[in-house]
Structure 1
């Protein structure tokens, strides 16, 4: 049985904080009871049976283990009804009070907190990341030493469960089949030893799976139709030719730093992929041509490999990349060994199988979780949970800047910031820093002794310094009139080049990836944090903070759409952005009574409420930039919670609480008997075509919304309002 290990180190690993937040899985034949193993097998079978209807796992393996360690039993033996929920676990709300719902939800959520204070969980997103890791392990000869037979079995299970009915794989779990994911996942299965002889695991037929996938690929012109990222990986493997890849010239790094297209000026995440891709392109590196590689040349292409017009194929359509580059330079290097030691950090197992996570969100989830708990009248009863979360946040602060002359390496200051994941990851993020700072300030207000070791003032100052350094108008490389600074906040760094650089976007699948843009969510988080900090320490860098808040406020006001909404870039979508905007504007004293922006926003949200009282927004909103409901006017518990939080912050309870009553009733009706809430459609987003699944959101935001609802709407613990 698989065991989740928290905060453990190992050979070739370095950590600045004792590996706090690290999550790895290890197979242990003796771990767990017979009943545990039966429950896990049952959960796997149930997911596989419903995989085409219920696209997301519920992270049951990790949650069961942690809950058991915390003395809380989770029953995984359940059968789903037509709505995908267990008839035994559907909550009844007729006589349930909000307090009872919250207590059950908080008891459950506290039970799945790890001992170091964070909430472990999957972070599903792109469906091609697992295949890229398999490819680099195969090319470097590390596949057998890194992945056991149990790893392979679970990865094959995952790829089977994620295959669409037409035989292909989508860019994400809810997406239509794409050549990128299908060709790479087909290749990964073959590299893992799957062939025409079956062996795909219980209930699986690898031959059937591969035959359908190969047919899908060949029916659509073969692998020459794959986007550039796939072309790079197939070229590395030797089943595509580098002459068929559009240029990724490493010579761009020879440009002076002031040239707009110099890679150091590009968005950090694109830069992290471009650097190794350009290295591989410059080397024209190809791995060993094995018999399997030769076979794949025939399987993936419609025409004989030696007759393909590779130049015509050019326009037919970061972890693993960096690790491969280190191996090419020196296969036995310490750098490669350190990369290899971190492979386990990216592997995650659920009832759907094992996959490679694009990342994790330990710090981000903890910051939101604390705010959700503090929103509840009974927060004091979860003091232990809050203390562990406080200690995790404190330990996760980045204590140093990048090594050496980091500005020459195009890195921003990081000392005092927080990242999305853990401190060892090392990249500061504006909104993560803001939310962490905000939570620490909120906890100090809630209880002066919540942590036996309170945050030192100098570390709070370091966090403020990071936030002030990241505002758009602080960048000095270009004159102000060229970059047109707007007072908003991006994610990791400042904008370093012109927006028109986006015309060079080569990904063919993602948008707004070349330049660091500014976002309403990041800007709002920073505003809220600085307002709280200013109340605590009104004279520290007063003028700069005041100016920062004014600029951020103007940015949010100008960004509002004509219909009253704001576009959310990191969540889905207009519901998410509008919630953040209202929170930010409210933090600086704006209200429904004095702000036309908030008035328009409330009108927008109320117009999108569904008949059942909820809100349900599709990930297609991010792609089309137009509000799109989920199919069949389905509601989503997290969208509903965001809308509730926004409306309550804007004083909806004082005008007409009926929409809030309806929304609260819906959330309560969806609670399961163990206190959990159902996992629904993807609710996170990046780059307008990359939906993500934040596993903890289904717990955090219903708790947060109902906690605020009880305080702001019901005023006291009343029975459910009648209509």
Structure 2
């Protein structure tokens, strides 16, 4: 094990008491949330498009369940902004796509176009360009209700199912989340099954002639500087967006004009087989709502009866993810007061929550052999994944090499990820599992390292960046390349388990040096944003023995210290994902402050190092104390930069608890 030789931390006289009281408060809160079988499960918030699309799904499937639709619609009304729009995250400005989808969902729920809330929504939508400016996924939903022409959808032909592995455009070059969403869409693109309504939404066009504007939407600029692009596609003289735009127009013409498509039946049959093979026993697909909805709809479009087992199980799985209706997801306190409202979560996070909550308690000195920690260990071990799926096509593993990996959700055994597997492996080791027992987990982690030295999240070498240039990819998130935060988390685990000087770890160090930004920060793929990426990278690098005095780490520390807000906390809002934003700007939050404190604690070289910054950070956390931990309404989790963000309810408590536990080890008590 590589130890960080941190000296005793000198803080003002009142600081140890403050740290101790914060730690005891959060320790009790986190421990109280442990469930009887040993695991933790917190709710998460995303955005209103989940509710809107669930209403679309139910109506399209002709499942007019008012016990579901009415509470889902009420949630939309409750979350409309004063200007008539809906946003993507707490405190964010109105978003065109979320507003169009919420508008249509409320119409489908029975609200008329002259309802005051919808009039305000229409005004916002028109002021921002109306339907022609919407993203691809929004337009697909409109097309499914015959409210937009399929000719304006940049489709992907189903024949891609027949493209062999090893070619740049086969389904396994797409990220796991893209595969599970796109493959059912291929079926929907073919059948174009539509539910025609007794109303239109023509009022969302600025001019009648705008209905003829079928141009593909222009993608928002997204920062892609954080991953290493393969040089094979780096042809300076070619504009790939234009090339793929032309190819997509040709594919759309082929789709809509050609009466005979000789390979279509074979491609559709393969797509359906792929979908059915990957449904979990619970009914889930991929553990994420868009994949689940699309898969059910694809089977229905192909003629499967709604009473068929795959569709019935899929419908039940979606209802199980609906907070306010689910027996397994605890509503927020304000939602309990407003019992006529419900919201669909995009996924659940029990493995992630359990790993981080257990780590927090262990950092605070909880006995690893205690009943609570051994229960957590048993639950985590029992929920490991040991079989191979899509990820195995590129993994560097021997044919019969045993593996153990962990997914984010309860039911996603085909798609474990490196982030969960790293933290769970760390917790299992601390609760008594030997390196021999953990060898299957280490096999998987090492076998999933990318060629560039970093780790992605779900797949190995899933980095064909050219796929993000196709018009369908207006979210620019079709691939899963190496990213700094997951790489940092893996290094933290490898360092703790004694693998910090291995070739794999040193390759990862070189990767992080290569993708560090000029200002010393790192991109945050799964958390907002540079605070998340930088702090994960710094902690991991220190854990494998990288020296604090190294210039690149000094730049990272300088970035963290200079990002501290006047109130003593750290914060960064989701808008910081816009390209060319160089500073972490935003309201201070408990989780982001915790990340910064962990990075500073890992880099102290003397008793005075960062003492003032740390003390101010603790004072900020004190201001956020509430009856159920620390207050935090802000979204600090990331799904897709610029497009989809999350608020994990556990972050406000277990990340600060990890930081407090580590700081307490450094205090002169």
Q: Same fold (TM over 0.5)?
A: yes
Matched, 1:416 2:416: no
Q: Indicate how the Cα distance of structure 1 residues 314 and 360 shifts in structure 2: closer, same or farther if over 3 A, else same.
A: same
1:708 aligned partner: 662
**Contact 1:167/1:213, CA 8 A, preserved across alignment:** yes
Instruction: Report the Cα distance in structure 2 between the residues aligned to 1:128 and 1:212, rounded to whole angstroms.
Output: 18
SS at match of 1:342: helix
Q: CA deviation at 1:252?
A: 2.6
- Provide closer, same or farther for how the CA distance between residues 422 and 627 of structure 1 changes in structure 2, counting only shifts above 3 A: farther
- 2:482 is the counterpart of 1:574: no
List per-residue Cα deviations over 1:564-609 (Å, max 9, x = no partner).
221211111111111111111112112324x323222212211222
Q: Find the aligned partners of 2:467 and 2:194 in 1 and give their Cα distance.
A: 30
Deviation digits for residues 326-379 of structure 1 (CA, Å, limit 9, x no counterpart): 1112123322112112112321234354211111211112211122111214x2
Which residue is equivalent to 2:562?
Answer: 607
Correspondence 1:162-173 to 2 at 5 A: 162-173=79-90
- Specify whether residues 505 and 698 from structure 1 end up closer, same or farther in structure 2 by C-alpha distance, changes over 3 A only: farther
Q: How does 1:107-126 map to 2 (within 5 A)?
A: 107-126=28-47
1:592 aligns with 2:545: no
1:335 alignment partner, one of 310, 313, 324: 310
Q: Using a 3 Å threshold, how does the CA distance of structure 1 residues 101 and 655 change in structure 2: closer, same or farther?
A: closer
Call closer, same or farther: CA 1:311–1:283 in 2, change over 3 Å.
farther
Match for residue 455 of structure 2?
Answer: 489
Q: Secondary structure at the match of 1:120?
A: coil
Q: Secondary structure at the match of 2:444?
A: helix
Which of 296, 320, 325 is 2:293 aligned to?
320
Tell me the alpha carbon deviations over residues 162-212 of structure 1, each in whole angstroms, 9 at most, x when there is no partner.
212211212344432233211211121222233379xxxxxxxxx222222
Q: What is the CA–CA distance in structure 1 between the aligned matches of 2:361 and 2:415, rounded to whole Å?
A: 27
| Distance in 2 between residues matched to 1:118 and 1:190, nearest whole Å | 40
Q: Deviations over 1:510-536 (max 9, x none)?
A: 23x12221011111222232333447x
Structure 1: how far apart are the matches of 2:85 and 2:564? 35
2:94 and 2:207 mapped to 1: Cα distance? 22
CA contact (8 A) 2:454 2:512 kept: yes
Which of 163, 181, 200 aligns to 1:296? It is: 200
Aligned residue runs from structure 1 range 71-110, under 5 A:
97-110=18-31
Distance across 2 between alignment mates of 1:629 and 1:599: 17
Q: Quick one: which of 106, 125, 129 aligns to 1:217? A: 125
Q: Is contact 2:23–2:657 with CA below 8 Å preserved after alignment? A: yes
8 A contact 2:132–2:217 mirrored in 1: no
- In structure 2, the partner of 1:155 is 72
Instruction: Report the secondary structure of 1:654's partner residue.
Output: coil
2:355 aligned to 356, 367, 386, which one? Answer: 367
Q: After superposition, what is the alpha-carbon deviation per residue over 1:639-688, rounded to whole angstroms, capped at 9, x for unaligned?
A: 1111111011111553432221121122123212x351102311111332
1:320/1:310 CA distance change after superposition, 3 Å? farther
CA–CA distance in structure 2, aligned partners of residues 276 and 96 of structure 1? 56
Q: 1:649: which partner in 2?
A: 602
Question: Equivalent residue of 2:44, what SS?
Answer: coil
Which residue in the other structure is 1:87 paired with? Answer: none
Contact 2:368 2:430 in 1 (8 A): no
- C-alpha separation in 1, matches of 2:560 and 2:40: 30
**Residues 183/382 of structure 1: CA separation in 2 closer, same or farther (3 Å cut):** farther
Greater RCO, 1 or 2 (C-alpha within 8 Å, sep 6+)? 2
Distance 1:94 1:526 in 2: 32
So what's the TM-score if we normalise by structure 2?
0.78
Per the TM alignment, residue 380 of structure 1 is displaced from its structure 2 partner at its CA by 3.5
Question: 1:143, 1:382 → 2: CA distance?
Answer: 51
Note closer, same or farther for the CA distance 1:297–1:418 as it changes in structure 2 (3 Å cut).
same
Using the alignment, how far apart are the partners of 1:497 and 1:297 within structure 2? 39
The 8 Å contact of residues 573 and 621 in structure 1, kept in 2 or not, is answered as yes
Find out whether 1:437 has 2:437 as its counterpart. Answer: no
Query: Deviations along 1:24-80, whole A, 9 cap, x unmatched?
Result: xxxxxxxxxxxxxxxxxxxxxxxxxxxxxxxxxxxxxxxxxxxxxxxxxxxxxxxxx
- Separation in structure 1 between the aligned mates of residue 581 and residue 648 of structure 2, nearest angstrom: 22
CA change 1:382–1:260 in 2 (3 A) is same
The alpha-carbon deviation at position 138 of structure 1 amounts to 0.9
User: What's the TM-score, normalizing by structure 1?
Assistant: 0.72
Contact 1:162 1:173 in 2 (8 A): no
| Structure 2 unmatched ranges of 5 or more | 1-13, 220-290, 325-331, 336-340
Provide the residue aligned with 1:70 in structure 2: none
Q: CA deviation at 1:260?
A: 1.0
Q: Distance in 1 between matches of 2:602 and 2:147?
A: 56
Give 1:466's match in structure 2, choosing from 444, 451, 464: 444
Distance in 2 between residues matched to 1:365 and 1:235, nearest whole Å: 38
Find 2:512's aligned residue among 520, 532, 556: 556
Q: 2:103 aligns with which of 170, 183, 186?
A: 186
* Mapped pair 1:659 → 2:613: yes
Q: Give the Å deviation of 1:386.
A: 2.5
- Alpha-carbon contact 2:639-2:645 (below 8 Å) kept: yes
Query: Which residue is 1:59 aligned to?
Result: none
Counterpart pick for 1:639 among 592, 596, 600:
592
1:153 CA displacement: 4.0
**C-alpha RMSD of matched pairs (Å):** 3.0
Separation in 2 of the partners of 1:296 and 1:515? Answer: 36
Question: What is the deviation of 1:308?
Answer: 6.2
Alignment CA distance shift 1:425-1:158 (3 Å) = farther
The whole-number CA distance in structure 2 between the counterparts of 1:492 and 1:416 is 14
Secondary structure of the corresponding residue to residue 420 of structure 1: coil
